[in-house]
Structure 1
Amino acid sequence: MAFLDIKNLEKVFGQNRVVKDFNLAIEKGEFISLLGPSGCGKTTVLRMVAGFETSSSGAILIDGKDVVSKRPNQRNIGMVFQAYALFPNLTVAQNVGFGLKVKGIAGSEADNRVAEMLKLIGLPDLGNRYPFQLSGGQQQRVALARALAPKPQVLLLDEPLSALDAKIRVSLREEIRMIQQQLGITTVFVTHDQEEALSISDRIVVMNGGRADQIGTPFDIYNRPSTRFVASFVGTLNLIEAKVIDPAANRISIGDQAITLKEPLGAAKVGDTISLALRPEAGSIVEGANGDTALVGQVMTSNFLGSVIRTRMKVGTAVISFDMFNSPGLTPPSVGETVTLRFTASDLLIIRE
């Protein structure tokens, strides 16, 4: 049985169903990210698990016990908010120990736990400071320590890094993951940042319109998107329209160029239009290539992005982007130049939804 088991969860505001038949089974110690654009329902799911939002229907089980009818302080859950939510009139140590005080833990036991948490977040000597004396990253560390101090069964993080600058976000997300693994605590992390979700999660739930479009490992979500939305939302992707020319042989055409797919075309018929996905990093320019896994096109733009150079080429009516790793000796293709893009047949995925 899953440690955190969310079953048929729904939330209705008036006539608007913001969460629709949401199901998710999370194992003990697993790090799950809810990923999606604003308004997709990810924060509402998190708030229902925390008890801050009442579910319209469904069940939320923690270690086999349904907590839907319990108040937030009865669920043994730690919560980290986007805006830190530290008490400005309390010191760092008092903030970290607030949950312990609520649970009736005091004296040396509370002091030792606070010291342990401050050491865990790398701020062992800042217990006497106040929140306004800390940087944004330090404040979020304190918020994390406060959530962890009472030893919750589940840790919930609601876009905790979105108020920080890019460099601090990267270092702090790595710290959060390291602390989570060290403690072995079951964690649900809400974010709209694909890189965050891909870099620290055991599994990702991609949400769209109140539903879970796809649940899988970061590798599967990125490389094997199951819907058009997931394919377009996670990472940079080429979505290419193609015509079926021989379904039995898995032959399709992009513009006037034929390609043999590795993935079966299924029930598609001659003349059907299908959608294909191709990641920009999958292709490479080669001289004089021909065959089933090459496309010839004309360069439209070539943009320097630091570590990569992203080039857009036109093949028939399709526009395909591909990336080249930057190096001092690299000569990017020129606008108007005819180039040949080589990739493997397995790099082209059929998008069926």
Structure 2
Amino acid sequence: MSFLTISHLEKSFGATRVVKDFNLDIEKGEFISLLGPSGCGKTTVLRMVAGFETPSAGSITIDGREVSSLKPNQRNIGMVFQAYALFPNLTVAQNVGFGLKVQGVPAREIAPRVAEMLSLIGLPEMGERYPYQLSGGQQQRVALARALAPKPQVLLLDEPLSALDAKVRVSLRNEIRAIQKELGITTIFVTHDQEEALSMSDRIVVMHQGIADQIGTPFEIYNTPATRFVAGFVGTLTTVQAQVIDGPSGHVKIGGNEIWLYREVTGSEVTLGLRPEMLRVGPADFNAGEAALAGTILDVDFLGSVIRLRVDLGGEVLAVDLFNTTRAAPPQVGERVSLALHPSDALVIGA
């Protein structure tokens, strides 16, 4: 039996259905990300689990107890918000111990728990400081410690990294994941950042217009998207129209290039999805089953460790990634290039 079960959850604001028949089973200690664009319903789902919103329909069960009708403080849930929401008039130690104090935990037990939490987040010497004396990343660490101090059954994270700069975000997301693994706490993380979801999660729920479009591991979500929305939203994906020459063998034509997909396709035209890393610049290795494509470079973007090319195949344009190297200059606009593609990598995009 799952530790946290969300069954047929719905939420409407007036005539607008924001969340539609949402179902999710979460195992104890699992890290789940709700990923999607603004307005897709992910934060509304999180707020219903927290108790800040009342479901229009459905149920939420935590460790065998139905909690939909309970108040937030009756659910044993810790929550970290995008805004740190620290009390400015309290010290770091007082902020971390606030939930314990509200629960009526004796002061002699609060102090060691606060010290334990400050050590866990790497700020053992900062207990007497005030929030304004900390950086944004440090304040978010304190908010995390405050949420974890009462030993909640479930941790909810509502875009906690979005207000931080890029380097701090990467560092803090690694720390959050390490702490979550160490404590083994069941966690739901809301984000619109694909890289965060892919790097941190055991499983990802990709949401679109109030619906869970796909639930799967990061590997599954990225490599085998179930819908056109998931394919286009997660990662960089170029879609091209291929003319079907022979459906049963997957013989298709992309621009001026013919390849075999070695799987059956239907209709006179099929939409293929190709990620930049699926293509390799250089002659195809036919013994390895690669197909050859030829095109002209339209654009070259230097992105540091990666160089992204846009290659015209004769009316269809593909994005292609190369690793940067100091030993060779990047290709030039207008240059003719040969590309190699393994047909099994190409995604056939359905409706």
Query: TM range, normalised to the smaller chain?
Result: over 0.9
- Cα distance in 2 for partners of 1:276, 1:76 equals 47
- Cα distance in 2 for partners of 1:261, 1:287 equals 18
Alignment of 1:1-353 (within 5 A): 1-265=1-265, 268-269=266-267, 271=268, 273-287=269-283, 293-353=291-351
Report if aligned partners of 1:81, 1:158 keep a CA contact under 8 Å in 2.
yes
| Amino acid across the alignment from 2:300 | S
- Cα distance in 2 for partners of 1:247, 1:133 equals 66
- Cα distance in 2 for partners of 1:264, 1:120 equals 54
Report if aligned partners of 1:36, 1:208 keep a CA contact under 8 Å in 2.
yes
What secondary structure is seen at the aligned counterpart in 2 of 1:248? Answer: coil
- Cα distance in 2 for partners of 1:116, 1:262 equals 58
| Amino acid across the alignment from 2:303 | L
What secondary structure is seen at the aligned counterpart in 2 of 1:126? Answer: coil
- Cα distance in 1 for partners of 2:204, 2:284 equals 40
What secondary structure is seen at the aligned counterpart in 1 of 2:248? Answer: helix
Bigger mean CA deviation after superposition, 256-265 or 173-182: 256-265
Q: What is the CA deviation profile of residues 178-209 of structure 1, one whole-angstrom value per residue up to 9, with x for unaligned ones?
A: 00000000000001111111111101111111
- Cα distance in 1 for partners of 2:55, 2:113 equals 34
CA distance 1:84–1:262, change in 2 (3 Å): farther
Q: What is the CA deviation profile of residues 21-63 of structure 1, one whole-angstrom value per residue up to 9, with x for unaligned ones?
A: 1111110000001111111111111000000011110111101
What secondary structure is seen at the aligned counterpart in 2 of 1:104? Answer: coil
What secondary structure is seen at the aligned counterpart in 1 of 2:215? Answer: strand
TM-score (norm 2): 0.97
Report if aligned partners of 1:259, 1:292 keep a CA contact under 8 Å in 2.
no
- Cα distance in 1 for partners of 2:309, 2:117 equals 48
Identity %: 67
Q: Per-residue deviation at 1:330?
A: 2.1
| Amino acid across the alignment from 1:312 | R
- Cα distance in 1 for partners of 2:332, 2:175 equals 43
- Cα distance in 2 for partners of 1:352, 1:224 equals 12
Report if aligned partners of 2:284, 2:341 keep a CA contact under 8 Å in 1.
no
Aligned residues: 349
What secondary structure is seen at the aligned counterpart in 1 of 2:272? Answer: strand
Report if aligned partners of 1:204, 1:218 keep a CA contact under 8 Å in 2.
yes
Report if aligned partners of 1:121, 1:142 keep a CA contact under 8 Å in 2.
yes
Q: Per-residue deviation at 1:289?
A: 7.3
Unpaired stretches in structure 2, ≥5 consecutive residues = none
- Cα distance in 1 for partners of 2:146, 2:284 equals 61
- Cα distance in 1 for partners of 2:103, 2:58 equals 29
Unpaired stretches in structure 1, ≥5 consecutive residues = none
For the aligned residue pairs, the C-alpha RMSD in angstroms reads 1.4
- Cα distance in 1 for partners of 2:135, 2:219 equals 34
TM-score (norm 1): 0.96
What secondary structure is seen at the aligned counterpart in 2 of 1:143? Answer: helix
Q: Per-residue deviation at 1:316?
A: 2.5
